[in-house]
Amino acid sequence: MPPEKQAAQVILPGYANSGSQNTTSALGDLARNFKTVGFASSYLVASMGLQALWSLGLACLDIYAIKVKRDLHNHLLVSLFVVGDWVTGTLSLAAACSSAGVTVLFVRDTDFCKSFPQLSCGKLQVSTAMAFITWMFVSASALVMSWILTSS
């Protein structure tokens, strides 16, 4: 049995066996919608990759400032940091929420993970939880940077 039909039977058991002419196109639409998992996890990886690069860049800048004994409290520079933190924080929250929606759909709503044990749903749950933890730290950083901006 093709995977599209198996997936459709998990979600819509009566509809997948209905034998109507629209069943083939509905199965194709359903299979394309399951690519949302790939998009959600790819978006999560891309967002966290951008977050890692942003944090690495700020760490390198801090190390350089300590090495040359310069103060980074320039108003324009702090404004750039605030905007960067808010942008990466928003992207991190969006990626975490997207992955959480797919995780809830697969684990609780459709029991898709029980039907297809070859999927690594546990890893998806862990990565979603870590994305929310990362977002909490990023939002704290953005809040502190906003506070520094208003005090300077």
Label residue 27 left, alpha or beta by phi (over 0 means left) and psi (-120 to 50 means alpha): alpha
Which of 27-31, 73-77, 123-127 has the least mean pLDDT?
27-31
Q: Tell me the pLDDT of the chain averaged across its residues.
A: 78
Q: What is the pLDDT of residue 119?
A: 75
Contact present, 8 and 26 (Cβ < 8 Å): yes
pLDDT band at 107 (very low <50, low <70, confident <90, very high): confident
pLDDT at 43 over 70: yes
Interval 49-69: pLDDT, tens: 999 999 999 999 999 999 999
Among 136, 131, 138, 106, smallest CA distance to 121 is for: 106
Q: Where are the domains of the chain?
A: 1-34, 37-151
pLDDT at 128 over 50: yes
Calpha distance 72→80 (Å, rounded): 11
